[in-house]
């Protein structure tokens, strides 16, 4: 039961990660440009756009997955056992919750890579999933009636903690760039970024 549930859950999750990885790479490039230009508004708008796109994608895909659980089980996975279809139906809400959390984290990590901020976020992700998430999941699976499904709940809890830390860090970067720009405007006029930097991506 546990092995089969694990396999089905991971295969469901694998269906939905490619989109987030693509936008993560795009966010890296756009964030690097905005940082180079000292454009805090572009950084803020990028963060808001990632959240909007990520949530919209998750909402649409979740609706499709919920409406086609039988198709996913029988056609995509090639499973014709009624028990497997029942597992998919039970796991879908947890997979969807994880999808939302993981999509936003993946996109945001690409954003932070563009800001050359990788060390602390990597530690946060490792601790969030492997210590908080896995630890909580093991406790829930052993001490509550959730059983195997407690592992998924634990991972979701860990992901929520990671998401809070990552978005707080993004907000801090935006504030730093904003404050630096304001100080530069006062002290150095319009060329605070040095010759050739402002708007360099448009040349």
Range 95-117 average pLDDT: 92
What percent of the chain has pLDDT above 90?
A: 51
Query: Beta strands of 40-126 (E only): which ranges?
Result: none
What pLDDT is stored for residue 20 in this prediction? Answer: 83
pLDDT digits (tens, 9 = 90+) for 135-179: 999 999 999 998 888 988 999 999 999 999 999 999 999 999 999
Q: Is 179 exposed, middle or buried (0-12, 13-18, 19+ CB in 10 A)?
A: exposed
Please say whether the beta carbons of 151 and 141 come within 8 A: yes
Answer whether 0.85 is exceeded by the pTM.
no
Measured between its terminal Cα atoms, the distance across the chain in Å is 59
- CA 193/CA 189 separation, integer angstroms: 10
Range 22-32 average pLDDT: 92
- CA 115/CA 164 separation, integer angstroms: 18
What pLDDT is stored for residue 90 in this prediction? Answer: 77
DSSP code at position 131 = I
User: Which residues are within 8 A (CB) of 132 and not within 5 positions of it... i.e. 6 or more apart?
Assistant: 154, 157, 158, 161
What pLDDT is stored for residue 184 in this prediction? Answer: 65
What pLDDT is stored for residue 194 in this prediction? Answer: 38
pLDDT of 192 over the 70 cut: no
- The residue among 31, 24, 93, 45 whose CA lies nearest residue 65 is 93
Higher pLDDT, 65 or 44: 44
- CA 86/CA 179 separation, integer angstroms: 54
Residue with tokens 């947890």: 94
Please say whether the beta carbons of 5 and 77 come within 8 A: no
Position 111 confidence tier, pLDDT thresholds 50, 70, 90: very high
């Amino acid at each position: 039961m546990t092995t089969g549930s694990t396999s089905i859950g991971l295969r469901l999750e694998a269906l939905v990660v490619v989109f987030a990885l693509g936008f993560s790479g795009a966010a890296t490039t756009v964030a690097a440009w905005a940082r180079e230009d000292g454009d805090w508004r572009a950084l803020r708008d990028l963060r808001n756009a990632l959240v909007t796109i990520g949530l919209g994608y998750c909402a649409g895909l979740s609706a499709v997955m919920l409406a086609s659980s039988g198709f996913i089980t029988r056609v995509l996975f090639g499973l014709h056992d009624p028990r497997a279809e029942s597992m998919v139906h039970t796991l879908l809400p947890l997979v969807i919750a994880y999808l939302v959390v993981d999509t936003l984290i993946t996109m945001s990590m690409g954003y932070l890579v563009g800001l050359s901020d990788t060390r602390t976020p990597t530690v946060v992700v490792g601790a969030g999933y492997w210590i908080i998430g896995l630890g909580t999941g093991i406790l829930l699976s052993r001490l509550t009636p959730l059983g195997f499904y407690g592992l998924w709940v634990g991972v979701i809890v860990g992901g929520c903690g990671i998401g809070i830390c990552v978005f707080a860090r993004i907000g801090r970067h935006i504030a730093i760039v904003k404050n630096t720009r304001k100080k530069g405007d006062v002290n150095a006029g319009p060329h605070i970024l040095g010759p050739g930097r402002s708007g360099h991506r448009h040349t």
